């Protein structure tokens, strides 16, 4: 089984949607291996999103991701990376399919409710960014 990293972003927590998103995760057959609420420091947010450094939205993204707590989760399923991205929907909610989390709940391309890893290798790095092996059940 494959793993991916999910983040319920600050807008998700502020809008009290964490329960609904966790329900969707479980309804869609993912196992939750680890789950915790944390407040990202600026240094953590910058490091987590370092692939986007220099892009026009980078500073705004770091500000957004540090404005309040997030809930991070390690998910397990067959083809977990693709399956979670499918449930999230497109980055821009205006382009997201009906029924996806971003279509249902996101305000705009920046404040878009959830994060998901983009590849299995990325997922390994992103899971270990937040969880030690002993925290993954």
Positions in the binding site for ligand UDP (CB under 6 A): 52, 57, 61, 91, 109-110, 112, 115, 118
Site for Mg ion in 101-120 (CB under 5 A): 118
Closest CA relative to residue 86, chosen from 31, 12, 4, 9: 4
State which residue, 61 or 71, has the beta carbon closest to ligand UDP.
61
Whether the CB-CB separation of 40 and 64 falls below 8 Å is answered with no
Instruction: Number of residues interacting with Mg ion: please give it, by CB under 5 A.
Output: 1
Label residue 90 exposed, middle or buried (CB < 10 Å: 0-12, 13-18, 19+).
middle
With respect to Mg ion, which residue has the nearer C-beta, 2 or 118? 118
Smallest separation, CB 51 to ligand UDP (Å): 7
For the bound state, the minimum distance from the C-beta of residue 132 to ligand UDP, rounded and expressed in Å, comes to 24
Q: Round to whole Å and give the CA distance between 43 and 107.
A: 25
Q: Out of 30, 113, 115, 126, pick the active-site residue.
A: 115
Instruction: Give 18 or 96: the residue with its C-beta nearer to ligand UDP.
Output: 96
Does 115 qualify as catalytic in the annotation? yes
| Least distance (Å) between residue 109 CB and ligand UDP | 5
- Shortest distance, CB of residue 137 to ligand UDP, whole angstroms? 26
Q: How far is CA 15 from CA 1, 21, 112, in A?
A: 32, 11, 12
Helix (H) / strand (E) element for 130: namely: helix 120-130
Phi-psi region at 66: left, alpha or beta (left = phi > 0; alpha = psi -120 to 50) = alpha
Active site residues: 115
């Amino acid at each position: 089984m494959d793993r991916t990293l999910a983040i319920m972003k600050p807008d998700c927590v502020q809008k009290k949607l964490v329960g609904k998103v966790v329900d969707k995760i479980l309804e869609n057959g993912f196992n939750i291996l680890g789950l915790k609420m944390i407040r990202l420091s600026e240094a953590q947010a910058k490091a987590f999103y370092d692939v986007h450094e220099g892009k026009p939205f980078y500073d705004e993204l770091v500000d957004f991701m540090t404005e309040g707590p997030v809930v991070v989760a390690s998910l397990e399923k067959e083809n977990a990376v693709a399956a979670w991205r499918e449930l999230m929907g497109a980055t821009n909610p205006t382009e997201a399919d009906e029924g996806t989390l971003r279509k249902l709940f996101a305000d705009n391309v920046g404040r878009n409710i959830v994060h998901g890893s983009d590849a299995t290798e990325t997922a390994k790095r992103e899971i270990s960014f937040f969880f030690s092996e002993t925290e993954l059940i």
